[in-house]
Chain A
């Protein structure tokens, strides 16, 4: 069975600094996608970034980038130049035939 593990329930970062959120997953599939979702206090889940497993190049979206290590089954999210609006719950997710989510990391941004 596929599992997604986020080992950091809470993280904090100073405004303008960089923070990395960790995620590992377990699967026997070779073709899959990985995602990071953000859930602010409004509760609306927002897609932050997506990575196709067959692509070796790490995905980047403005200040957000991932470090995808397929052999290690690791998929971390790096947020650069952190802003107050980045404060939210972040979920790592995997999809093969279904979507599987981690337990989330609550990110606090300190002014």
Chain B
């Protein structure tokens, strides 16, 4: 089974801190994604990556950056955390569209609270 692991389930950080959310997948997937989930807004794409060292902005990239130095790891970085970044963060991975199975596999989510 595909496994996507996020480093923390719960995280509390102070305003202005630099925050790292880590995600690792074990199925050699090319595509990796970071989403933010808020009530009534569904999942909104922050950043995604189709390959190592590649990154593309999603719908809400402001205040975030990402890093993908290895194929299995995709990190989300909050350069200076703010209270409006308090949210649930979901990491996902998938094969390329031409790779057969195309569904996204998700991590268990990180609930981040910025105080």
Chain A interfacial positions (CB closer than 8 Å to B): 6, 9, 33, 35, 37, 42-45, 47, 50, 91, 93, 95-104
Contacts and interface: CB of A to CB of B under 8 A. Distances in A.
Contacts of A35: 103-104
A103 B109 contact: no
A9 B33 CA distance: 25
B42 A9 contact: no
Contacts of B46: none
Contact of A43 (B33, B88, B102): B88
Interface of B: 33, 35, 40-43, 45, 48, 58, 88, 90, 92, 94, 97, 102-104, 106, 108-109, 111
A45 B106 contact: yes
B92 A99 contact: yes
Given A44-B106, A95-B103, A101-B42, 17 more contacts: A6-B42, A9-B40, A35-B103, A43-B108, A44-B108, A45-B104, A47-B103, A50-B103, A91-B42, A91-B43, A96-B97, A97-B97, A98-B45, A98-B48, A101-B35, A103-B41, A104-B42
A33 B42 contact: no
Majority-rule SS of B interface residues = strand
Nearest to B56: A98
Contact of A101 (B43, B88, B108, B109): B43
A43 B112 CA distance: 14
Contacts of A102: 42
B17 to A, nearest CB: 23
Scoring A42, A47, A99, A104 by chain B CB atoms within 10 A of each residue's CB, the highest score goes to A99
A1 B31 CA distance: 20
A45 B42 contact: no
A14 B103 CA distance: 30
Nearest to A1: B59
